[in-house]
Amino acid sequence: MSLNRENNILWEATESFNNGSEMARFIDWLKSEKQLIFNDYESLWQWSVDSNDQFWLSLWEFYEVIYEGVIEQVVTTDSMPGANWFTGTILNYAEHIFRNAADTRPALIYSDEAGEIHEMSWRELKSKVATLQHFLLKEGVQEGDRVAAFLCNTPEATIAMLATVSIGAVWSMCSPDFGTHSVLDRFNQIEPTVLIATTGYSYNGRNYNKSEAVTEIAQQLPSLKHLLLTGQDNTIAPQSFSIPVSVWEEVVNTEHDCVLHFKRVPFSSPLWVLYSSGTTGIPKAITQSHGGILLEHFKFLGLHGNVQPGDRYFWYSTTGWVMWNILQSSMLLGATAVLYEGSVSYPSMSKLWDLAESVQLTTFGVSASYIHSCMKKGISPKETHDLSSLKCIGSTGSVLSLSGAQWIYEHVKKDVWLASVSGGTDICSGFVAGNPMLPVYANALQCKALGCGLYAYDENGIPVMNEQGEMVITKPMPSMPIYFWGEKDGKRYHESYFDTYPGVWRHGDNIIIYENGSVEITGRSDATLNRMGVRIGTSEIYQSVEKNPEIKDSLVVNIELENGGFYMPLFVVLNDKSALTEDLKTKIKKALRSEYSPRHVPDEIIEVKEIPYTLSGKKMEIPVKRILKGDAIDKVSSRDAMKNPDSLIVFQQLHNKDHQ
């Protein structure tokens, strides 16, 4: 079924918003500089995929990339994996951040649960980055060496990242809420020479001392040559180590007369290492390049995010989520990056809306689950906050329901642009993106991203429209991983993306691409509910179930039985003072039947205290399914890769009860 334009539009750009967008500026530039004329977005997208070398070269020129050398080839091949980009050039990601330095606007704005707002000028940021750069060079850190960080979402993390990549070293970070073994599983793969770590953090009104964890991590990294500590909870004794230990306040927060410089490196040199969730094994050490991230973030944040000089860009994230990296790149476009460290709901769910008003955010990025939580709490920010500066609300992390989108327009701002995006750590960007020139439709994301050959494949590998299919990408993109760090033969890289369709990237999502160009994400393909031959996206069930005020969260799996039958239980977490009555069960089932189909109706509805999540905020449907089929908890998950590892115990108990 195709979406009806008249009945499903939630927002349309005004003429001035459209014409003033970065996307419109790029289209005008293509016309004047390249004599390329595009009358609609779909034709622009098709060109960007069919002529991807011309598209990425045009983006390079449009954003005036600083480089040395001669572009030998924009891309060496259209096949995947194995494409090399902009061969013959050298550049530096951090250099492009600092070319936007200006006395008229801060580089960073930072806040936390205490509520105080701190600004850091470009002058101060440059000075601190130069000082830390000098320290790293003095300690022998060279191009290609790894610097690991165990830091919160504070200016220290931004300073450390920029100092690292400015000299061509490779950045990698874990959030302090990660378990010790989870951190070691990641950092031991990359063999860092320097560890920059905080000894404590605050969350939800509580202080956490991480000195013991930092000590254990540092002692179990054989490659480590220096430890740099920050934080006020330091109980670490330097004599505990055979390597030098320094203190951030003495190294960086003192007056130095250092000059910041940039080491230009080949386009495909590693910039940073990100990690997959690692719920069932060693996390993938996803390595992305200087040039690939630079170009992709110019496109994703500039053209699709409409980030412009002077904007104040915020996306709520921990340092363990890819959105932290994307947030830093807002400075590539001349925006001020707004950082927040702490809980979204302490001391109240209005905390982030307070921040939006206080610092006059232009982009307010959060997870879909946060929007749903605000909706269920019954808050109405437009009644309590001045959000006149807000141009865009971004949403990602999970599928935003129709009721969540409607809540934004009814209770936040009626003329705000809702830019829901979907992508992943794998490319540090979005495959499906916002577009300041296109309408926002109900239950759909606005468009396929430029330069992304995105299609929905049926079970025979044939592209389909207006029906659910496997999300694939048919052309290489510059920010795709250059490799998984430490992998010699590329076997795991190939297995992760190219095993199903040779030469075609399979991401693991189910999608519907509509005739109007919008895209619906229906859930993870490996968690698809294949019931009696009909494939059901889990997001459809969650949207229906979680709009009930009694339901706080939910998870559904479908188990194939030996007799050829199916068992589909729905697990729900109830809000305070709610009970799972027969009336509520009937209401849930009736809604699923009427809104979707009889196959969407679960066989059983079971109350649990919490839904299991990965550290990156993904529901753990597959591990739950495997536990219910008899696998042990430690076989299907790693405790240190989960937000709430004890949440799996109830599913083990349910399996044991059924098999007594």
DSSP string, 505-544: EEEEEEEEE-TTS-EEEEEEGGG-EEETTEEE-HHHHHHH
Q: Is the pLDDT of residue 406 over 90?
A: yes
Which pLDDT tens digit goes with each residue over 265-299? 999 999 999 998 766 668 899 999 999 999 999 99
In this prediction, residues 300-309 reach a mean pLDDT of: 98
Supply 10's token pair: 């939630």
What is the per-residue pLDDT for 562? 64
Distances (CA, A) of 382 to 9, 409, 416, 496, 522: 21, 10, 11, 44, 30
Nearest to 252, CA basis, from 235, 232, 229, 226: 229
Q: Is the pLDDT of residue 141 over 70?
A: yes
What is the per-residue pLDDT for 421? 95
**What element of type H or E holds 634?**
helix 633-636
3-state secondary structure of 407: helix
Distances (CA, A) of 357 to 112, 243, 311, 312, 339: 15, 46, 14, 11, 14
What is the edge-to-edge ordering of all strands in the sheet holding 422-424? 422-424, 429-433, 447-448
Instruction: Give the helix, strand, coil percentages of the chain, each rounded to 5.
Output: 35, 25, 40
Find the largest Cα–Cα distance for the chain: 75
> Is 573 in contact with 609 (CB distance < 8 Å)?
yes
Place of tokens 């979204």: 344
Distances (CA, A) of 315 to 21, 100, 161, 331: 20, 20, 18, 13
Residue 439 gets which letter from DSSP? P
Nearest to 146, CA basis, from 176, 167, 175: 167
- Strands (E) located in 295-398: 312-315, 336-341, 363-367, 392-396
> Is 158 in contact with 328 (CB distance < 8 Å)?
yes
34's CB contacts (< 8 A; 6+ apart) are 54, 58
CB environment 378-395: b (16+ within 10 A), e (fewer)? ebebbeebebeebbbbbb
Q: Is the pLDDT of residue 554 over 70?
A: yes
276's CB contacts (< 8 A; 6+ apart) are 283, 284, 286, 425, 426
Which pLDDT tens digit goes with each residue over 66-102? 999 999 999 999 999 999 999 999 999 999 999 999 9
> What structural domains and CATH numbers belong to the chain?
140-266 (3.40.50.980), 528-658 (3.30.300.30)
Lowest mean pLDDT segment, chosen from 350-364, 544-558, 646-660 = 646-660
Residue 1 confidence class, pLDDT cut points 50, 70, 90: very low
- CA separation for the pair 186, 268 (Å, rounded): 22
What is the per-residue pLDDT for 528? 67
3-state secondary structure of 399: coil
Q: Is the pLDDT of residue 4 over 60?
A: no
Its pTM surpasses 0.95: no
**What element of type H or E holds 324?**
helix 322-328
Distances (CA, A) of 249 to 198, 341, 553: 12, 19, 43
**What element of type H or E holds 556?**
strand 551-556
- Strands (E) located in 199-298: 200-203, 206-209, 226-230, 245-247, 265-266, 270-275, 285-289
Query: At residue 9, what is the residue type?
Result: I
- CA separation for the pair 472, 624 (Å, rounded): 26
Which pLDDT tens digit goes with each residue over 582-640? 999 999 999 988 777 778 899 999 999 999 998 777 899 989 998 998 889 988 888 87
User: For residue 387, what are the β-bridge partners?
Assistant: none
Rounded CA Rg of the chain:
24
- Alpha-helix runs per DSSP H in 178-210: 180-190
Residue 378's region, left for phi above 0, alpha for psi from -120 to 50, else beta, is: left
- CA separation for the pair 572, 244 (Å, rounded): 51
Supply 222's token pair: 């054989």
How many Cβ atoms are within 10 Å of 16's Cβ, its own excluded? 8
> Is 307 in contact with 22 (CB distance < 8 Å)?
yes
Intra-chain end-to-end CA distance of the chain, in Å = 47
What is the per-residue pLDDT for 369? 82
**What element of type H or E holds 160?**
helix 155-166
Do you know the residue count of the chain?
Answer: 660
What is the per-residue pLDDT for 6? 45
In this prediction, residues 465-489 reach a mean pLDDT of: 96
Residue 64's region, left for phi above 0, alpha for psi from -120 to 50, else beta, is: left
CA dihedral 342, 345, 347, 348 (to 10 degrees): 150
Query: At residue 507, what is the residue type?
Result: H
Which pLDDT tens digit goes with each residue over 248-274? 999 998 777 899 999 999 999 999 999
Which pLDDT tens digit goes with each residue over 445-471? 999 999 999 999 998 999 999 998 999
- CA separation for the pair 350, 354 (Å, rounded): 6
In this prediction, residues 335-355 reach a mean pLDDT of: 96
Q: What is the mean pLDDT of the chain?
A: 92
